[in-house]
Amino acid sequence: MTHEQFLLLAQVLNIMPSAELEQQVRTPNQARSAEAHRMLTLHHRIKEAYVIHRPTAFRVVVSHDDLDRFPGALDLKPDMHVQLVSYTSERYITVRITQAPATPKAYFRGVVSEQNISYTVFEQGDSVYFSEDQVHAVLNK
């Protein structure tokens, strides 16, 4: 979360911003006050609703010519974790599936659950749309 985002969330939630509160919000795995928890919850909900990466952001990793795994071979369900490959950086993006497609032509919806790389367009909490043939691996979490 940037400083500007912190200040805006504090204003929206009518919370007095302070350096201590900003430190609580920015530091992972630290004991947090109720205000910090409210700010982080709202921040994640806003990101999930408005920051959406389209399927064109990820590589297709299987095709109809693949004999090891053909498209449609994976049985993906909500709350499973999968790895996608970023089209631009070729890095793995870990995503938790939040919604399965309603029709065969629709996309899965997920949320970036881990991001260990700095300075990337994908951040933890971002929403993504993807198809089953873009899944590089299913992770056991």
C-alpha 82/C-alpha 92 separation (Å) is 10
Domains belonging to the chain, first-starting first, are: 3-50 (no CATH), 53-139 (2.30.30)
Q: What are phi and psi of 25, to 5 degrees?
A: -70, -35
pLDDT over 80 (residue 64): no
C-alpha 90/C-alpha 94 separation (Å) is 13
Residue 87 is predicted with a pLDDT of 87
C-alpha closest to that of 96 among 62, 124, 120: 124
Query: What's the whole-model pTM score?
Result: 0.74
pLDDT tens track for 4-41: 888 999 999 999 999 999 988 888 777 788 899 999 88
Residue 7 is predicted with a pLDDT of 92
